[in-house]
């Protein structure tokens, strides 16, 4: 072994020994690697359908169905990671049906609109969450999230029909609603990925 090779081998052993003596370092390294391995491209499409705007979104993420289900149905935590929401709380629950109130402000460029809705949410574990607005700033807001396993990844899709109670600007109205849905959907996907990566890192550190 040359002097250079021996020196590099010594550095490598030192790094391994340092990591093995520091569980926190191992956890952080595992977490970083898990996050780096996530591949969750998001696609969102929106179009007019009469007075309504129809939105379709989809993404793939490395996560278990249970982790994704916990994120989707953890309504009271939405405001922690969805940028447009300032509050999200469960008003009542009966079995697989919940009444959820959400508030916030969304927008695109100079156009902003309030988010103030009360939703009736119907859960169909472990694969679907349906919602319908019963009051608020949308005359109609229906949507469904679906989870399907696709090989070693999980597919999350959203289909929504939105009829706002406020006037949409003619040129950027659909774009603004699409942007709002994209931010919320992307935040959900990232949170699912974050929790899945944290679980994987925690398991690897044990």
Angle between the 65-72 and 173-205 helix axes, to the nearest 10 degrees?
A: 130
Q: What's the distance, CA 101 to chain centroid?
A: 18
pLDDT computed for residue 61 by the predictor: 94
Q: Is the peptide bond before 126 cis (omega within 30 degrees of 0)?
A: yes
For the whole model, what pTM was predicted? 0.79
Predicted confidence at residue 177, as pLDDT, reads: 93
> So what's the architecture of 39-205 in CATH?
2-Layer Sandwich (3.30)
How far apart (Å, rounded) are the C-alpha atoms in residues 161 and 141? 6
What is the distance in angstroms between the CA of the first residue and the CA of the last residue of the chain? 36
| pLDDT score recorded for residue 203 | 76
| Pairing of β 85-94 and β 138-150 | unpaired
Q: In which residue ranges of the chain is pLDDT below 70?
A: 1-40, 204-206
Residue-level pLDDT at 6: 45
């Amino acid at each position: 072994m040359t002097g250079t090779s021996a020196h590099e081998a010594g550095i490598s052993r030192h790094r391994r020994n340092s990591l093995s003596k520091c569980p926190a370092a191992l956890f952080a390294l595992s977490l970083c690697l898990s996050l780096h391995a996530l591949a969750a491209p998001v696609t969102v499409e929106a179009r007019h359908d009469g007075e309504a705007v129809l939105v379709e979104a989809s993404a793939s993420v490395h996560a278990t169905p249970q982790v994704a289900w916990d994120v989707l149905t953890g309504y009271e935590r939405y405001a922690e990671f969805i940028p447009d929401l300032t509050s999200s709380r469960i008003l009542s629950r009966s079995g697989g049906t919940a009444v959820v109130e959400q508030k916030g402000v969304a927008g695109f460029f100079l156009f902003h609109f309030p988010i103030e809705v009360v939703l009736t949410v119907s859960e169909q574990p472990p694969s679907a969450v349906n919602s319908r607005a019963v009051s608020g700033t949308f005359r109609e807001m229906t949507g469904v999230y679906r989870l399907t396993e696709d090989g070693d990844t999980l597919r999350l899709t959203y289909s929504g029909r939105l009829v706002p109670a406020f006037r949409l600007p003619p040129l950027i109205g659909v774009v603004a609603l699409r942007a709002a849905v994209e931010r919320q959907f992307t935040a959900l996907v990232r949170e699912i990925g974050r929790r899945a990566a944290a679980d994987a890192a925690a398991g690897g550190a044990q």
